[in-house]
Amino acid sequence: MRARLLMVPLIAVAFTACDEKALQMAKDVGKVLNAYQAQLERRIAAEQSAYTQQAQIEAEAAREQALSNLEQERLERSRGLALDILSGKQDVARWREPIRDYAKVDYSIQHDFLK
C-alpha cells in the first residue's frame, strides 16, 4: 500500500512534465502558425497588387483599342464622304450629317470611358 502511495506523486510529477512539454509545443506551433500567417498575408497583398496592375493594363489596352477603332472609323467615313462628294452622290452642302453621325458614335464611346 505504501508503494502505491509513493507512486501517486511520481505519476503526478511525470504528468506535470508532460504538460510543460505540451505547453511549450503549443507555443512553438503558435509561433510557426503566426509566421505562416504573416507570409500568407504578404503573398495575398502581392497578388492583389499584381491583379490591380493587370486590371489597369487591360483597361488601358481596351481604351487604346477603342480609340484605334474610332480612328479607323473616322478614316473610312471621311474617305467614303470624299468619294461620294467627288462622284456627285453626296451634295457638298450636306457634309455635316455624316460627320454628325460619327460625332455621336465618338462621343458615346468617349463618354463610356470617362464614367
Walking along the chain (115 residues) 10 residues at a time, the average pLDDT comes out as 51 61 83 92 96 96 93 92 89 85 90 84
Distance CA 72, CA 70 (A): 5
Q: Are 70 and 109 in contact (CB under 8 A)?
A: yes
Q: b/e string for 45-65 if b means 16 or more Cβ within 10 A? A: eeeeeeeeeeeeeeeeeeeee
* Residues 93, 94, 95: CA angle, nearest 5 degrees: 95
For residue 95, what are the contacts with CB-CB under 8 A and spacing of at least 6?
Answer: 81, 85
Which pLDDT score, from 0 to 100, does residue 12 have?
A: 53
Which pLDDT score, from 0 to 100, does residue 38 have?
A: 94
Please state the domain extents for the chain: 2-114
